[in-house]
Amino acid sequence: MIKVLFVCLGNICRSPMAESVFNGLLLKEGLEGQVTSDSAGTSDYHIGEPPDPRTMDIVEKYQLSNNHRGRQFIRADFQQFDYVLAMDRSNLANIKRVLSSEDIKDRVFLMRDFDDEAPGADVPDPYWSEADGFEQVYQIILRSCQDFIVYLKEKHPALTQ
């Protein structure tokens, strides 16, 4: 089982949205028994809280699901997950503070490293935006998750069988 962790700041907007989008794509691809995901935040601002209502609006709009409660990224997560995808450079820097540089090689990425439209760019934090900001983030996450699944299939040929 390949395990993927999506990480943002508070774990109520971007990373739970990415978890929902990714899990929906796994179902469509028939990979739900081979790949799984979770999400976490680098801060402790929203531990135990459900995703932001605007994130849940997007989840419902695209007929996805999410039962997640906010939690903080911890070093032990790196032992449990094969890949960690950070939403922005600040999240990535916070992750790197917890892990050694050897740990992160080929396992920790920016989410948009897998976005053909803006490779390596940050996923903007929609927290202070209106619904259109959440829609924009959804589109970015969707593209990135689609391309990440392509990457996983290339890296793990058994997934394509």
Residues annotated as catalytic (active site), given as ranges? 8, 14, 125
Which residue type occupies 139?
A: Q
Please report, for the chain, how many H helices and E strands are present, in that order.
6, 4
Which residue has tokens 């069988």? 161
Give the separation between CA 107 and CA 88, rounded to whole angstroms: 15
Which residue type occupies 153?
A: K
Encoded tokens for 72: 């903080």
Encoded tokens for 121: 């760019």
Which bin fits 106, alpha (ψ -120 to 50), beta or left (φ > 0)? left
Burial environment of residue 1 by CB neighbours within 10 A (0 to 12, 13 to 18, 19 or more):
exposed
